[in-house]
Chain A
Amino acid sequence: MPRETSRDNMLREKHGKEIDDIISRYPVRRSALLPLLYLAQREQGYVTEAAMKEIAQILKLTPPQVYETITFYTMLNLKPVGKFHIQVCKSLMCALVGSDQLVGWFHAKLGIKPGETTPDKLFTLSVVECLGACGTGPMMQINDDYYERLTEQKVDQILSDLKKTGACPLKSGPFMWPEARSAK
C-alpha cells in the first residue's frame, strides 16, 4: 500500500461541495464510492491510503470495504503512474490490425515495456483489454483521451505534443466512424 501523503480530511476540505453533490444522486451512500474514488485519483494520480480512509469515513464504510472495491476495478490505480498513462488495447479486434506493433513502437521510442514508467515519470505504458473502439484500431487511451487509427507517424506526433504542451489535437471524439457515408 502506498504511504500516507496527506491529511485525513483533505478531500472534504477541498471538494466538499462536489462530494455532497455526488452523494445526493443516490439513495444509498455506498453508490458514491466509485465517483469519489475517481475524485481522489484526479487529485493525486492514484488513490492513496489516506484518501481511501477518508472516503470510507465519508460513506460510513470500513476501509476494507473501500479497498475490496478498488481492487476489482482496473481503472483505479493503487500506485503512482506517469503523468501520461498510455493504455494500448491488445484484445483480438485491435490485434488483428496491429496493436502488437503499436506496443513495439512505444518500446522503441520510450524504452519501456508494458507495466513500466519512463525515468522522467512522464509516461507509463500498459496493455489493456478491449476499450470499445474496435473499428478504429489500433488504438489507445492516454489519461482521459482516446487516440484511434494509429500509425507510427501519429504516435510520434502524440508523444512529442504531449511532452511539449501536455495535449495533442489528434485525440478523438465526439466519435463517429465512418464519418459520413459517401455515395455507395
Chain B
Amino acid sequence: MPKHELILLKNMMTPGYTGSLKDYEKTGGYQALKKVVGKVQPADVTQLVMKSGLRGRGGAGFPTGVKWNFLPKDYKGPKYLCCNADESEPGTFKDRQLMERDPHQVLEGIAIAAYAIGAESSYIYIRGEFVLGAHILDKAVAEAQQAGYLGKNVLGSGANIQIYVHRGAGAYICGEETALLESLEGKRGLPRVKPPFPATSGLYGKPTVVNNVETLANLPHIVNRGPEWFAAIGSAPKSTGTRIFCVSGHVKNPGNYEVPMGITLRELIFEHAGGMRSDKKLKAIIPGGASAPFLTEQHLDVKLDFESVAQAGSMLGSGGVTVMEEGTSMVWAALRLMEFFFHESCGKCSPCREGSSWLTQTVRRILAKRGRMEDIETLKQLCQNIAGRTICAFGDAEVAPIMSTLQYWRHEYEELIREAEAHREKELPMAAARH
C-alpha cells in the first residue's frame, strides 16, 4: 500500500466498492453536504475553501475559493455552476475514473459548491466520448435526488440544487472555460474574449463558476476534515492537497496515482508507475498534459507542485505525465502533438489557426527529411507570433512542444535537415515539394 493516505481514490480502492449511493453513504458520503446545507452560511463555505488553499485541478491552478469570491455579492438573479468534465487534455484520464467509479463523490462536491455560490442549476459538461460516464452520472443524480441530497429543498434546508449532465461532442477547446460555456449554450465552442470573466458574465450572461471534476471532488473532504487538515497535505503553502497524476507512455505501470503534491517526478515515475518499461533510459517527460513543455531526465528531481514545475520551465497543468524512452524521436513526438493542436484549433484567432497549420507542415517537412536549416528559425518565429497573441491559452499550449523540443533536442532537427541537404541536389524542385 502507498505510504500516504488516499483521499479521492480511497473509496474505489476498497474491494467491492461499486460507487452506488448505498456504498458511498457507508463511507460517510453526503455527511459533508448535511453539515453545510442550511447550517453554514454560503460565504463561510467559500472562506473554508480559501483557507484550505485548494487550487484548480484542470490546468491553470487558480485558487478555487478566490474564483468563487469573484461572483457579485448582492446579485439576485440566477447563477450557475459548471463542472468541467471535458477532460480533453492529452495525457489526462483521471476525471473519467472519478466519475465512473465514485460518481457521488463528484456530485456531493458539486452540491457543496453550488450551495456556496448560490447556483440552483449546475451542469456537468462531460466530454461526448464518455458515454458510460454520462450514463453513470445520470443514474447517480437520480439516486441522489430520490434520497433528498439533490433537487428542490435539499435536506429540508430550502436550498434548491439541480444537477444536469450535458455531453459535449468531441472538441478539445471546450475544456477552455468560456468555450465550454458557448458549447453549453448550443453554439460552436469558440472561447470568449475576457474580460468579462465568467464570474460576472458566464453561462447565458449570468455569474458562473467553472470548476474541474477533481477540484470539486475534494470539497466533501475539506468540509469533513477541515481546511487545516487539507492545507497540511502536499507542498505548503501554495500547492496543498493531493493530485491524481495520470502516468502514460513508456513506463511499466501506467495509470492514475494519487499522491501528495510535492513528490518528485522520479518518485512518481520510478516508485509509483514502476519505472521504465524496458531497459531503455528515460529521455523526455511531459509533466502536465500536452500543453506543458517537455522536460528531460535532468528534471527528474523536480517537485510536482505548481511552483516547482513552473520554475523548471514547464507546468503542472492537468496532471498528465507522459514518459518517453531513449530512441523516441523528439521531432516525431512534437509532430504528433502539433497535429493534435492543428486539428483542434477552433479557428477564431488567426495566429493560432494559421500558425498551427504552418508549424505542423514545417515539422512534417523536417521529419520527412525535406527540411532546410532556415526552417528552425521559421519555427521559432512562428512560435513567437502565436504565444500570447490569442484570446485563450491554446496559443501558448500549441507552441510548447515545438519550443521545448527545440530547446533540448535541437540537434535532432538539425540531423534530419543535414540528411535532407545531403541528397537535395538529386531532387527535381517541383517533385520534391509533393511528398
Q: Which of A5-59 contact B (CB under 8 A)?
A: 25-28, 30-35, 37-38, 59
Nearest CB in chain A to that of B206: its residue: A27
Which B residues are CB-close (under 8 A) to A25? Answer: 164, 166
Which B residues are CB-close (under 8 A) to A136? Answer: 93, 254-255
Q: Looking at chain A, what size class is its interface with the partner chain?
A: 35 or more
Task: Tell me the interface secondary structure of chain A in the complex.
Answer: loop
A92 to B90, CA, bound (A): 8
Nearest CB in chain B to that of A96: its residue: B249
B242 within 8 A of A: no
Q: Provided the pairs A69-B186, A174-B19 are in contact, do residues A141 and B132 lie with their beta carbons within 8 angstroms?
A: no
B248 touches A137 (CB 8 A): yes
Q: Looking at chain B, what size class is its interface with the partner chain?
A: 35 or more
Nearest CB in chain B to that of A29: its residue: B186
Kindly specify which of B28-36, B122-130, B413-421, B424-432 makes contact with the partner chain: B122-130
Give the shortest distance, in Å, between B390 (CB) and chain A (any CB): 17
Chain A 123-139 per-residue mask, 1 if CB under 8 angstroms from chain B, else 0: 00000111111111100
B168 touches A34 (CB 8 A): yes
Q: Which of B249-280 contact A (CB under 8 A)?
A: 249-250, 253-256, 271-272
B333 touches A132 (CB 8 A): no
Q: Provided the pairs A31-B184, A69-B187, A177-B254 are in contact, do residues A184 and B169 lie with their beta carbons within 8 angstroms?
A: no
B37 within 8 A of A: no
Nearest CB in chain B to that of A34: its residue: B169
Give the shortest distance, in Å, between A55 (CB) and chain B (any CB): 10
B170 touches A75 (CB 8 A): yes
A95 to B133, CA, bound (A): 25
B68 within 8 A of A: no
Q: Provided the pairs A38-B167, A146-B132 are in contact, do residues A134 and B322 lie with their beta carbons within 8 angstroms?
A: yes
Q: Which of B27-66 contact A (CB under 8 A)?
A: none
Give the shortest distance, in Å, between A102 (CB) and chain B (any CB): 15
Which of A28, A35, A92, A131 makes the CB contact (< 8 A) with B333?
A92
A178 touches B324 (CB 8 A): no
A128 to B128, CA, bound (A): 13
A93 to B183, CA, bound (A): 26
B186 touches A133 (CB 8 A): no
Q: Which of B1-22 contact A (CB under 8 A)?
A: 1-2, 12-13, 15, 19
Which B residues are CB-close (under 8 A) to A91? Answer: 90, 290, 336-337, 340
Q: Provided the pairs A31-B185, A35-B167, A174-B136 are in contact, do residues A134 and B248 lie with their beta carbons within 8 angstroms?
A: yes
B254 touches A75 (CB 8 A): no
Which A residues are CB-close (under 8 A) to B184? Answer: 31
A115 within 8 A of B: no
B320 within 8 A of A: yes
Which A residues are CB-close (under 8 A) to B166? Answer: 25, 31, 34-35
Give the shortest distance, in Å, between A94 (CB) and chain B (any CB): 9
Which A residues are CB-close (under 8 A) to B183? Answer: 34
Q: Provided the pairs A174-B136, A184-B2 are in contact, do residues A134 and B186 lie with their beta carbons within 8 angstroms?
A: no
Enumerate 20 A-B pairs (CB-CB under 8 Å) in ascending A order: A31-B185, A69-B187, A73-B128, A74-B171, A91-B337, A93-B249, A97-B248, A129-B339, A129-B340, A132-B92, A134-B93, A134-B246, A135-B93, A141-B129, A144-B131, A173-B132, A175-B100, A175-B101, A176-B256, A184-B2
11 further A-B contacts with Cβ under 8 Å, apart from A37-B169, A144-B131, A181-B1, are A68-B188, A69-B186, A69-B188, A72-B188, A73-B189, A97-B248, A97-B249, A174-B100, A175-B132, A175-B133, A177-B256
Name the 3 nearest CB pairs between A and B, nearest first.
Answer: A33-B186, A73-B169, A30-B186
